[in-house]
Structure 1
Amino acid sequence: MKKIWSIAKNELYSLFYSPIAWIMFVIFMVMIGVSYIRVLDMFFVAEKQGGFSLFFVEHLTHDITVHGAVGYLTWELQTLYVFFPLLTMGLISREKNNGTIKLLYSSPVKIRDIILGKYLAMMVVTLCFIIICAITMMAMSFSIENPDYVQLTGSLIALFLLLSTYAAIGLFFSSLTPYQIVAAIFTFACLAFLSKADSLWQEMDMVRDITYYLNIGKRSMPLIGGLFSVRNICYLLIISIGFICFTIFRTMAATESIPSWKKVMRYGIVILLGLFAGYITSRPSVNAYLDLTRDQFHTITPPTQEVLAKMNEGPLEVTIYANLLNFAFASNFKPSMENETSSNLFERYSRFKHDIKVNFVYYYAVAPDSYNFNIYKGCTLRQIAEKVAGSMRIDINRFLTPEEIRKQVDIESESLDNFMVFKYKDRSAIVRTYDDNDFWPLEDEMTAGFKSMLMEQPLIAFLSDGITRRPFSEQVRDYTDLAGRKKSRESLINQGYRFDTVSLEKQPVPQNIAGLVIADVRKPLSPTCLERINQYIENGGNLFLTVEPDRKQAVAPILEKLGLKYRDGMLIQPQDNNSSDVINTYLTDQAIHLSPRFERTIYEDHRAFLDSVYRVILGGSGSFDYVQKDGFLMEPLLRTDPKLCWNRLQPVKPDSMHFKLTKLPDDETGTFIPALKLKRTVKGREQRIFVVADADFPTSNYTNIFNPKQYNFKFGFWCLSQFSYGRYPANTVRPLAKDNKFRIDAKNILVQKKIMVWVIPILIALAGSFILIRRKRK
């Protein structure tokens, strides 16, 4: 070890008595300082702007340092990518060029010790770069409240491992040639290959897994972000140890005379051992994880972990169906993207269930009236598919025809879209892609899919008698957005619920439903229907009832049984931008506490906008009077503002609503209640009934209003979700971020900029100049 350290010291003397290292330290300090100030200032401005910008000011420790393309460490890795070939290019090639390599060969020092000594010297240089990074992290820690020190420490350790890998690669290429520039070029080319390996030959099934595994960015970025895994750490160690061994073999070759096949065999053994170690450590059952972030930022929530823990009786098979002629295919589903898609979607879950198997099935199909037939006039569907596949350089034979895919799965029910089918034991579930910026299912949707294969999905039935609103119709008045829109992740059908319609004229209320929806009965219900509804309520069934003022008589018997009376008249609230029958009602505390996730939504909006009232907009609504009856506990969910809203008893012509109405002497004033929750215990289970005096509130007429901010959709969503008693949707609420505030001002950022960009680089330059001048004088 003493010999190794002695060689390392000599190498450090050569490095630090040369201006190259000092110049790089100065340049790197300036560059990382500029990046750090830029990102810090961006988040600082976002906090001061408030509003929507505050939704991005969370987990500041992670976001400022390593988040995606924003984190300043992510940016500066590209700089180090260039620096290290210049630092390592002379480690051995300089010895060869000067002829001093022969003196090393003849010295009583093993070649292994020579190589390890030079590598140790580079690790010390690497540590200098880490110290520079740590300086910016220290400054950031003083700038934000409650920084996550454990994550920062993990990021520095991961950076050290990555840069040590760069050093090992540069050391090897320095041993190949006496020309330093050539060694630098080779090193840069190798690092470029390892950084882009996952994009090479991904169309070839034989090499896709190997090149994807070799990508150094895919392995190192999770580590730097605070997620340590056996696979990624071993990857960096395998690369480092492998190139150090190559360097030793290459250097030994100049001092020994052995057959070429033995030399080749050395390299082959190291490569095979590396591949074997990489294969073993990449197996899900071996690949252990450690999330160093304080809030377990990279880990699925405990409820999802519990669901996966229960799936222990067999593998989870995932089949991803992708349509060549769907607009999203080129950007998300090409065969060359299989590894990336599988990793991004399921690696978080395979940590807790190791036997997740992902398969891809490609097909082509379009509707008979598709625009494709207009673009490719005169072409058959097969010819259109061949042209599209050819433009992406994909073999058309990889795709199933419409006839072949229909034998496997019902693509019509999914509108010929891209979707996934989960299979566990004898049960299956469909998880979809969505028409929003995220596109892929998030943890909520995935967990709903997992749960549906372990327990029965709650079935909510919509009453079809009396011309009521429906869950799947595309008419604006219906509840499709809330209940059954398959391409909307917020629709209840994608959160684990099932929906159907039921006619109580023809059958009793089904025993297996979680709740019954009676939405805007437009004509009187028959005695048979009313009797069955009353019996359902008597038996403790859950109910969601929405009523319009001009049709209140149709459900008056149901309301009377519940102890409710729909007031005569209509609520009026004159406004500048809406008709007078559009009123702002406000969520009560009971409504906000319907769900932990709803509470979190309200909290985040309050933090961003400092709202003190949370609106649900109703149009053409009335209100309820209520008395306690049959053991029901009445909880108002919405209330009106007595200063702005009143109850008009006299009929109002629809045209008059477009004007700002004024109070009449006989108008009723006060606080009115247009929505209530009724609950009681029946047969050991809590019965839940929701009644709303407006049937239009969850439709797009009101959910698409953005000013003022409204909670119409979420209110309807969480009311209906009460019928599953917490089973659905999954509770994936995470702890509140502690590092979401700054404790500095704008002047402090300018001071930090001067220190990072000027003071510290000048001090480094002065230290280097002092050492170089002192060395020259000696």
Structure 2
Amino acid sequence: MKTTLKIAKLELSILFYSPIAWFLSVVFVFQCGLFYTSIIETHLTNQEIGGGMLRSLNYLTSGVFGMQRGLYGDVLKKVYLYLPLLTMGVISREISSGTIKLLYSSPVKISQIIFGKFMALMTYNLILIFILLIFVFTGILNIKQIDIGLVFTGLLAVYLLLCTYAAIGLFMSCLSSYQIVAAISTLVVFAILAYVGTIWQSSAFFREISYFLSINGRAEKIIYGLINTKDVAYFIIIIALFLGFSMIKLQSARTPKSEILFTIGQYLGLTIIAFLLGYITSLPSFIAYYDPTVNETQTLTPTTQKVLKELGDAPLEVTSYINLVDQRFGMGNPASRNYDRERWEPYLRFKPNISFKYVYYYDEPSKDQTLSKFYPGKTLKEIAQQSAKSWKLDFNDFKSPAEIRKIINLVPEQNRYVMQLKYKDRTTFLRLFDDQIQFPTETETSAALKRLTVKLPKILFVVGQFERSKEKLGDRDYGFFVSMITNRNAMVNQGFDTDTINLARQDIPNDITLLVIADPKISFKGEALEKIHKYIEKGGNLFVAGEPGKQAVVNPIIKPLGVSLMEGMLVQKSDDAAPEFLKAKLTRYSASLSTNLNFNFKENIQVRMPGSSALLYEKNSAFTIKPLLISDQKTSWLTKKQIISDSTTLKFSSANGDVSGAFPVALSLQRNVQGKEQRIIVSGDADFLSSAEVRGWGSANRDLYMPLTGWFTNGQFPIDTSRPLSQDKRLNLTAGGLTALKVMYLGLFPGLIVLIGTVLLIKRKRK
């Protein structure tokens, strides 16, 4: 060990008695200082502007130090340029000068030479980390409630990557007496390790090899804040592999050429051992994780962890059905398998026995993909064959429409890329969606997993009286938020089962979660109305949505509740919208129905209600009644006058019977019936849940409908995967302080290093 340390000390002195180490240090300090002050300046400007720009300061620690736009990410993009310059002469210098022969003839072991020189490189890497540590301490002072765990895991990631690059550079230095050749070769190896995960991914064998070899994403995961033994082991294995290669290379110079096969065997054996260790450390059951971030942002939420725990020890099977002629095929083709593995890794952490299968087929895609338009005159099979050829895949690996339909009917899924989850004897679908994210998030995945273990909430929509449809996607219908499989926020993708019921022909089941009566146009008569009243009397949950002018239809339904739709219609004064276009306010109580709504609650949140009746309720009702939505007292009023949207500006007139005030437009009702809590919502408007409104932006409609529905399930669905709000969202810095940072990091520190290096080099030269 003493010999190794002496070699390390000597090598380190050689590094710092040459300009290169000082030059790299100066450049590193300047680049880090320039980037840090620039990004701090951007956030400080946003903070001073205020308003909506303050949103950019959420998770400020990640914004300043993180992977995507932060300091560590910038370091990772540039640091590979530093190490080849540092390592290119570590061994090649000895070879070119002939001193390597003296080392061979000395009692020093090859392993001591390699370890000593590598320890010197590790020490220099620590100096670079110390430089980053200065910025970390500055960040602690600059960022209020900084996420300490995230910044220190980032330092670990950068150091592991630096040491890995150093080991690779050390080996490449063993291969040539020309330093420039060693540097270029090192860059080539870096490039191979960076891009190996993107080539020949259609081959299952090479895909598994490249998954281990690829360095992309290894440090990034740790920088995001999640330390796992798989990625840490990867860096250690790669370091050991290239150090071992270096020893073999130097040792081979001592051995006769006749023993070249033995040397090749050493290389091969070491490589096999490395791959074996990489495979073992990559097994889900052997991976350990540590998330030191505030609120454990890189870990599944406790809710999802509980869902996975409820699955027990029984295995979970995920089968992906991927259509060759579907426009999403590129996201599921064989070359994308490793990305799919990465998406499931957070779940494998808590349930290692998840297995994956992939079934490829071709069949008529969804209606939004008109194949005949793009492939005129070609049959489906010919189109599929052309697609397989363009993807460089064997068409025989794809099942025909007849073959896939014998296995599973995917027509209701529009023959889209879909995943089927199977647990014991239960199955459910996990879908891709028509939005920017496309793949399911933790919320949708958790909902699908929970469907496999619990009794599903059943919601019945009453039909027969021309109610709003749960299937149609028209502006006034409810299909978008109920049954549209391509909408991630639809009830069908959030854990609910829905169906229809005609009260004229069917009885209301006792085990349903909710009965929905959405804007009936015809009054319920006789037996149908009696069924509703009995359902209410037994304690069934109910949602009733009325409309202005439908008082005679809706009031008989809700009469037992002590609630009624008032005569007339609520109107609102507005310069932009029609008077009947009401913008109701969310009450504090309605915000408390969901964690998401509660976090985002503001007094001025508005719910669009295009035409609403005011609600009247009895104070001494058997129910506990609370307003969910109320009209704006300052700008709206109740009128019995017929509204013509394109007439003159509507004005309040008490002479015409107009009544001012803040009227409830949606009510929640609760009571206990036979030990069960009954929950009911009555709304004076049915349009606020229509496809047109929940698709819209700038209102709370799209955030409100799912929490309201989930209220009836006592929080069982939808799955709440929300996290506490970011606390690191403010800078403790002024413009003057920023200027001081720029002077210090862009002038004083680089200048100080230049001065120290110059003095040391001059003294060295004089000696």
- In the superposition, the TM-score normalised over structure 1's length comes to 0.95
1:29 maps to a residue whose letter is: V
Judged with a 3 Å threshold, the aligned counterparts in structure 2 of structure 1 residues 230 and 744 are, in CA distance, closer, same or farther, namely same
Judged with a 3 Å threshold, the aligned counterparts in structure 2 of structure 1 residues 55 and 323 are, in CA distance, closer, same or farther, namely farther
Matches within 5 A, 1:233-252: 233-252=232-251
For the Cα contact (< 8 Å) 1:321–1:363, is it kept in 2? yes
Q: SS where residue 693 of structure 2 aligns?
A: helix
Q: Distance in 2 between matches of 1:149 and 1:701?
A: 45
| 1:713 corresponds to 2:713 | no
2:396 maps to a residue whose letter is: N
Cα drift, residue 149 of structure 1: 1.9
Cα drift, residue 337 of structure 1: 1.0
1:672 maps to 663
Q: Distance in 1 between matches of 2:72 and 2:675?
A: 57
Judged with a 3 Å threshold, the aligned counterparts in structure 2 of structure 1 residues 328 and 749 are, in CA distance, closer, same or farther, namely farther
Cα drift, residue 77 of structure 1: 1.5
Q: Does 347-356 or 255-264 show the bigger shift? A: 255-264
2:613 maps to 622
Q: Distance in 2 between matches of 1:23 and 1:503?
A: 81
Q: Distance in 2 between matches of 1:388 and 1:755?
A: 58
| 1:777 corresponds to 2:766 | yes
| 1:318 corresponds to 2:318 | yes
Question: What do you get for the CA RMSD once the two structures are aligned?
Answer: 1.8
Cα drift, residue 693 of structure 1: 0.4
2:649 maps to 659
Q: SS where residue 295 of structure 2 aligns?
A: coil
For the Cα contact (< 8 Å) 2:157–2:223, is it kept in 1? yes
2:363 maps to a residue whose letter is: A
1:493 maps to 492
For the Cα contact (< 8 Å) 1:579–1:659, is it kept in 2? no
Q: SS where residue 697 of structure 1 aligns?
A: helix
1:365 maps to 363
Q: Deviation string for 1:417-467 (max 9, x for gaps)?
A: 121111111001111111111111000000000000000221110010311
Matches within 5 A, 1:357-396: 357-366=355-364, 371-396=370-395
| 1:515 corresponds to 2:514 | yes
Which of 619, 635, 642 is equivalent to 2:626?
Answer: 635
1:116 maps to 115
2:222 maps to a residue whose letter is: L
Segments of structure 2 that go 5 or more residues without pairing to the other structure are none
Q: SS where residue 296 of structure 2 aligns?
A: coil
2:733 maps to 744
For the Cα contact (< 8 Å) 1:176–1:183, is it kept in 2? yes
Q: Deviation string for 1:606-639 (max 9, x for gaps)?
A: 5xxxxx3221122221111111466211111112
Q: Distance in 2 between matches of 1:164 and 1:368?
A: 50
For the Cα contact (< 8 Å) 2:34–2:746, is it kept in 1? yes
For the Cα contact (< 8 Å) 2:477–2:691, is it kept in 1? no
Cα drift, residue 477 of structure 1: 1.3
| 1:441 corresponds to 2:440 | yes
Cα drift, residue 368 of structure 1: 9.7
Q: Distance in 1 between matches of 2:440 and 2:692?
A: 27
Q: Does 768-777 or 269-278 show the bigger shift? A: 269-278
For the Cα contact (< 8 Å) 1:199–1:212, is it kept in 2? no
Q: Distance in 2 between matches of 1:650 and 1:588?
A: 28
Cα drift, residue 396 of structure 1: 2.1
Q: Distance in 1 between matches of 2:251 and 2:40?
A: 50
Q: Does 711-720 or 671-680 show the bigger shift? A: 711-720
Q: Distance in 1 between matches of 2:182 and 2:202?
A: 32
For the Cα contact (< 8 Å) 1:545–1:691, is it kept in 2? yes
| 1:38 corresponds to 2:38 | yes
For the Cα contact (< 8 Å) 2:303–2:719, is it kept in 1? yes
For the Cα contact (< 8 Å) 1:562–1:629, is it kept in 2? no
Q: Distance in 2 between matches of 1:227 and 1:418?
A: 30
1:609 maps to none
Say how many residue pairs are matched.
764
2:506 maps to a residue whose letter is: Q
- In the superposition, the TM-score normalised over structure 2's length comes to 0.96
Matches within 5 A, 1:57-456: 57-68=57-68, 70-257=69-256, 259-330=259-330, 332-343=331-342, 345-366=343-364, 371-456=370-455
For the Cα contact (< 8 Å) 2:706–2:718, is it kept in 1? no
Judged with a 3 Å threshold, the aligned counterparts in structure 2 of structure 1 residues 628 and 558 are, in CA distance, closer, same or farther, namely farther
Segments of structure 1 that go 5 or more residues without pairing to the other structure are 607-611
Q: Deviation string for 1:467-526 (max 9, x for gaps)?
A: 111211122211112211211111121110111110111121112210000011101112
2:348 maps to a residue whose letter is: S
For the Cα contact (< 8 Å) 2:90–2:117, is it kept in 1? yes
Which of 690, 693, 704 is equivalent to 2:681?
Answer: 690
For the Cα contact (< 8 Å) 1:580–1:661, is it kept in 2? no
Q: SS where residue 664 of structure 2 aligns?
A: coil
Cα drift, residue 140 of structure 1: 2.0
2:746 maps to a residue whose letter is: V
Cα drift, residue 139 of structure 1: 2.1
Q: Distance in 1 between matches of 2:699 and 2:89?
A: 65
2:19 maps to 19
For the Cα contact (< 8 Å) 1:284–1:354, is it kept in 2? yes
For the Cα contact (< 8 Å) 1:364–1:401, is it kept in 2? yes
Q: Deviation string for 1:694-720 (max 9, x for gaps)?
A: 1111124434554xx321233332222
| 1:458 corresponds to 2:457 | yes
Cα drift, residue 92 of structure 1: 0.9
Identity %: 36
Q: Deviation string for 1:286-311 (max 9, x for gaps)?
A: 01111121221110001111111121
| 1:726 corresponds to 2:715 | yes
Q: Distance in 1 between matches of 2:725 and 2:585?
A: 25
Cα drift, residue 754 of structure 1: 2.8
Q: Deviation string for 1:212-261 (max 9, x for gaps)?
A: 22111222221233211111111111111111111112112223447333
Q: Distance in 2 between matches of 1:66 and 1:422?
A: 34
1:233 maps to a residue whose letter is: V
Judged with a 3 Å threshold, the aligned counterparts in structure 2 of structure 1 residues 653 and 226 are, in CA distance, closer, same or farther, namely closer
For the Cα contact (< 8 Å) 2:652–2:658, is it kept in 1? no
